[in-house]
Chain A
Amino acid sequence: MMIKKLNNMISRKSMILIAFVSITAYVIANSFSNKTYMPIKIEQIGNSTSVQQKKDSITSVKAYMKVHAVLQHPRCMNCHPSGDIPLQGEDSHLHAMLPKRGVDGKGLYAMKCNSCHQPTNTPGLHTPPGNPNWHLPPADMKMVFQGKSPSELAKQLLNPATNNHKNHEQLIEHVSHDKLVIGGWNPGEGRELPPGTHKEFVENFKTWLATGAYIPSEKIKADKK
């Protein structure tokens, strides 16, 4: 009789213990999981898009780091060089023929971007990729990505004085619909794609801004390939 009671008590205690351990493990696992993004609530007000979400520095910086990985990819960075000559290839070497930015970002004299870059991709391996409005950022707003740390680039993107006078809504509009941005995922034969899809890039960009547009610490370095 006594042994039966003791057995019952032990099994009840162990059940409670197992339940407690399971709940704790679930909570811990969830807090470390990468799936911490909350859905963003976007409200269309007239022509502007208002993005509302609770401020959350961890979610914000995590999302930004994914954005940063895209912006530092050759498909994006090659046209945001630190000098006045665009870059080329997966190793981001200087563009063959050394075309220059020019005042409006569209090249100089007989070396304008659309002298070779057509409105659509030219067929064939490593032939000039196409876009109807191929250009670098203009000379008075160079928007350099090359060599920028996550912190430096995030600050640059958020500052209208260095991001071509864009507010958050305009930044989202730009990354969502600009044909050159979208063209990064259709770069022509023989070129790598940026990490993730364009849709994921836009979602991460929105999450970064919506959760407070936090700037990563100076100590955070971008992931290397």
Chain B
Amino acid sequence: MRKQQLFTYYIITKVSFVNNNYYMITLKVNEKAYEIDASIDMPLLWALRDLVGLTGTKFGCGVAQCGACTVHLDGEAVRSCVTKVERAVGKNITTIEGLSLDNDHPLQKAWLEFDVPQCGYCQSGQIMSAAVLLRENPSPTDQDIDDAMAGNICRCGTYPRIRAAIHQAAKTLKNK
């Protein structure tokens, strides 16, 4: 029995030594601290979805080409599928779940009002990108919207409704 225990300890030590990229990492997500055991090379997307349990952020292409995985790092949009956990340590991470307390962000309201999503898969990334746009430019033109949203692809082609909803959210923010 004792021999077996010793052998188990030996294996655990061995595995920890081999996987020396694994650490207990604290991520601050949506104002809350999460302790995760992850490799510093792990894409932030997997840490958020599989370890933190926030599945609103979606996997699309895995190579920063579609925008479905967009989250904020200290307020800036990043593609979480290519962003390593290491880059997010010590920063404020915001996912679609943390954009507002009760889904009442002007963008979320406008999205509902204009019935923007079709299949919905890309929409959390779309909203996260639009949020950065409105923070930096509260009165965007169509061209500004194109410039900001060109990295978020929608296979259903909901672009006209996305544009209309962003204009609507901009109006709401102005009237606040």
A98 on interface, CB distance cutoff 8 Å? yes
* Partner-binding segment picked from A28-36, A53-61, A111-119, A178-186: A111-119
Cβ of A100 < 8 Å from any Cβ of B?
Answer: yes
Complex Cα–Cα for A119 and B84 (A):
10
Q: Could you say which residues of chain A place their CB within 8 Å of the CB of B151? A: 97, 99, 110-111, 115-116
Do B148 and A108 touch (CB < 8 A)? yes
B-binding segment of A17-25, A120-128, A192-200, A205-213: A120-128
Q: With A115-B77, A128-B64 in contact, is A110–B70 under 8 Å at CB?
A: yes
Complex: A119 Cα to B40 Cα, angstroms: 14
Q: Does B83 contact A109, Cβ atoms closer than 8 Å?
A: no
Chain B 63-84 interface residues, beta-carbon cutoff 8 Å to A? 63-65, 70, 76-79, 82-84
Residues of A within 8 A of B147 (CB): 100, 108-109, 111
Which residues of the partner chain B approach A118 to less than 8 Å between Cβ atoms?
82-84, 87
Q: Are A115 and B133 in contact (CB under 8 A)?
A: no
A127 to B82, CA, bound (A): 9
Q: CA of A97 to CA of B79 in the docked complex: distance in angstroms?
A: 14
The prevalent SS among residues of B at the interface is: mixed
The 8 Å CB contact of B63, one of A97, A100, A115, A122, is A122
Q: Which residue of B lies closest to A126 (CB)?
A: B63
* Complex: A41 Cα to B137 Cα, angstroms: 52
B78 lies within 8 A of A124 (CB) = no
Given contacts A109-B144, A110-B70, A110-B128, are A122 and B82 in contact (CB under 8 A)? yes
B64, B130, B144, B150: the one within 8 Å of A98 (CB): B150
Indicate the size class of the contact surface on chain B.
20 to 34
Q: Is B82 a contact partner of A110 (Cβ separation < 8 A)? A: no
B45 at the interface (CB under 8 A from A): no
Indicate whether B129 reaches chain A with its CB closer than 8 angstroms.
Answer: yes
Q: Which of B63, B65, B133 contacts A110 (CB 8 A)?
A: B133
**What is the CA–CA distance of A73 and B128 in the complex, to the nearest angstrom?**
36
Chain B residues with CB below 8 A from A96, complex form = 65
C-beta contact mask, B65-108 vs A, less than 8 Å → 1, else 0?
10000100000111100111001000000000000000000000
CA distance A205 to B136 in the complex (A): 41
In the complex, chain A residues whose CB is within 8 Å of the CB of B150: 97-99, 111
Identify which of residues 113-140 in chain B touch chain A, using a CB-to-CB cut-off of 8 Å.
128-130, 132-133, 136-137
Please name 10 further chain A to chain B contacts, defined as beta carbons within 8 Å, in addition to the given A110-B128, A110-B132, A115-B76, sorted by A numbering: A98-B150, A99-B150, A109-B137, A110-B70, A111-B151, A115-B70, A115-B78, A116-B79, A124-B63, A127-B82
Closest 10 pairs (CB-CB, A-B): A110-B129, A109-B148, A110-B77, A116-B64, A110-B132, A97-B151, A109-B133, A122-B82, A97-B150, A127-B63
Q: Using a CB–CB distance below 8 Å, which chain A residues touch chain B? A: 96-100, 108-112, 114-116, 118-119, 122, 124, 126-128
The contact sample of 17 A-B pairs, CB cut-off 8 A, is A99-B151, A108-B148, A109-B133, A109-B144, A109-B147, A110-B70, A110-B128, A110-B130, A111-B77, A111-B129, A115-B151, A116-B82, A118-B87, A122-B82, A127-B63, A127-B64, A128-B82
